Amino acid sequence: MTDLGEVRAVLAGVADQLGSAYQHAGIARARIADAVAVLDGLGEVHSEPLVPPELLQAAEELERGLGLITFGATAVADIDARL
């Protein structure tokens, strides 16, 4: 395999891993949203909110991570296109 072929193979592997990471993060986002919804519903009968602030912070960080994954995937695709 040529050096260019090796680089493209590595980029393809990175793109696959980024795609997988995005899928897993999307599942995590949905599960966090479900947990927040359940806790919000249960909190309606309690005097205090049941959703821990850390869970909301985790959701925000996950959104930031999804953006970074997307940015990385775009960068990999741009590099591959330039090759």
Whole-number average pLDDT of the chain: 95
Measured distance CA(56)–CA(53) in Å, rounded: 5
Please state the φ and ψ torsions of residue 41, each to the nearest 5 degrees: -65, -45
pTM of the model: 0.85
- State residue 62's pLDDT score: 96
* % residues pLDDT > 70 (the chain): 99
Asked if 23 contacts 73 with a C-beta cutoff of 8 angstroms, the reply is: no
Measured distance CA(32)–CA(28) in Å, rounded: 6
- State residue 70's pLDDT score: 98
Q: Residue 76: which residues within 8 A CB-CB, separation 6 or more?
A: 11, 14, 15, 18
pLDDT tens-digit readout, 24-83:
999 999 999 999 999 999 988 888 899 999 999 999 999 999 999 999 999 999 999 999
pLDDT over 80 (residue 1): no
pLDDT tens-digit readout, 6-34:
999 999 999 999 999 999 999 999 999 99
Asked if 66 contacts 22 with a C-beta cutoff of 8 angstroms, the reply is: yes
Please state the φ and ψ torsions of residue 26, each to the nearest 5 degrees: -65, -40
